[in-house]
Amino acid sequence: MRKWMPLIIALLMILPLASCKGKAPKKQIASPARKTISRKVQKKNPTPRTVQKQVSVPEIKQVEYNPAGRRDPFLSILALTKQKIERKRKKNLNPLENYDVADFRLLGTIYNGNGYFASI
């Protein structure tokens, strides 16, 4: 197999050259240059019977931008999504969960048959 490898590589390198068969590429025939024709434009003399049409211009309504209900285009969409998630968490909390743990003071623990409870 090792003896045949250089021969195979040489054949693969010669194959693209053999497909050309010595044909020269065709030359592109240049198209004849276009002749420019100059035309003289004659100005028409205004006739006294020229009728001017009255063009009615519609009134332009002034548009006012109202950003109510739209997001701020300069804020990150990811930041807005995080704010919405935090608002949902706060809505679903119990009244005691709205306070920080540091705000409470432990008075004692109570045990009934089901388990221990904190008295705050």
pLDDT in tens, 100-111: 888 889 899 999
**CA gap 117, 110 in Å, rounded:** 5
| Mean pLDDT for the stretch of residues 18-46 | 64
Q: Which residues of 82-116 are buried (b: 16+ CB within 10 A; e: fewer)?
A: eeeeeeeeeeeeeeeeeeeeeeeeeeeeeeeeeee
Span 81-108, mean pLDDT?
82
**Average confidence score pLDDT of the chain:** 78
> What is the distance of C-alpha 6 from the center of its chain?
52
Q: Considering the entire predicted model, what is its pTM?
A: 0.23
Strands (E), the chain: 108-112, 115-119
Are 108 and 120 in contact by the 8 Å Cβ rule? The answer is no
Looking at per-residue pLDDT, the higher value among 90 and 114 belongs to 114
**What string of DSSP letters covers 10-73?**
HHHHHHHHHTTTTPPPPPPPPPPPPPP---PPPPPPPPTT--PPPPPPPPPPPP----TT---T
pLDDT for 24 beyond 80:
no
pLDDT of 100 reads 84
DSSP 99: S
Mean per-residue pLDDT, 77-104: 81
Q: How confident is the model at residue 46, as a pLDDT? A: 58
pLDDT in tens, 49-76: 666 777 788 888 898 888 888 888 888 8
